[in-house]
Amino acid sequence: MMRIGFIGLGNMGAPMAVNLAKAGHEVFGLDAAGATAEGVKQVQSINEAVTDMDCVITMLPNGQIVRDVCNEALEHMSSSSVLIDCSTIDIESARAVHAACASKNVLSVDAPVSGGVGGAQAGSLTFMAGGSQNAFDMAKPLLDIMGGKIVHCGEGGAGQAAKICNNMILGISMIGVCEAFALGEKLSLDPQKLFDVVSTSSGSCWSVNTYCPEPGVGPQSPADNDYKPGFAAELMLKDLLLSQSAAELVNADTPMGARAAGFYQKFVDANGRGRDFSAALEHFKSATRGDFDA
């Protein structure tokens, strides 16, 4: 069994740390807000969280915080340990963390996740991992405890690249699904009938089949719980902005990604903050043609 320092016990980090502890690992948790997790021993400093650990896992809000925590952690980490960053951050920060770890001879993996709080609790997350084969091999047994699907996407930063591309697709597709269901309602089409058609036709996608934004249609989703997140609209906005930052970095043309980021920015600024990103359906149901561009 391993000694694991886990930094960031928020909505995602806490259940991930709990699953590691339940698997028999000795887990030491640190959270800036003082959050705790069942079976996880609470510590008070980064030094305590990383010294004499076999592995350090971070789940933090943004790239700058990850860089700062990493730089401090590396002052105390052993070269025999591995750093696994599960945060969703910008590509440049991910690459900077890998470089900092390499300078201290510490193995590192960027391993952002998909699957939300439910997946974190169930241990069924998808991990998109970037890093050397040696680092990935060391991290994988722990990722297997927290996740159901682990993909080694390539060298350092590849995990973040995969996560950003995946969530750009998700953001774009959810807007299309919301537009279609709102249009269907205005055309007097029964939403259940529309679901029955789309879910088995060429419009089929995760945003319809698994996470339908129409209440009472399809499998249980946040739409059936007054759009309490699941995946908050402001987190979708964060990921779409990261996609555009990455696109600028490599001069990639992503017009639909940019359009989706613009929509979610307006939605969050209006009334979407704290709601699931699928609540965008309510905007389209009340909007008239051209409102988005107004």
DSSP letter (8 states) at residue 292: G
In angstroms, the CA 173 to CA 215 distance is: 18
**Which of these is catalytic: 163, 186, 238, 285?**
163
The DSSP-derived string for 189-230 is: --HHHHHHHHTTSTT--HHHHTT-SSTTSSS--GGGGTT--S
In angstroms, the CA 148 to CA 124 distance is: 4
Beta-bridge mates of residue 113: 127
The two structure tokens encoding residue 229: 């997140």
Long-range contacts, stretch 178-181, CB < 8 angstroms, 24+ apart: 178/213, 178/278, 178/280, 178/281, 178/283, 178/284, 179/284, 181/212, 181/213, 181/214, 181/281, 181/284
Question: Rounded to the nearest 10 degrees, what angle do helices 233-249 and 158-186 cross at?
Answer: 130
Within 10 angstroms of residue 126's Cβ, the number of other Cβ atoms is 18
- Is 193 in the active site? no
Catalytic positions, written as ranges: 163
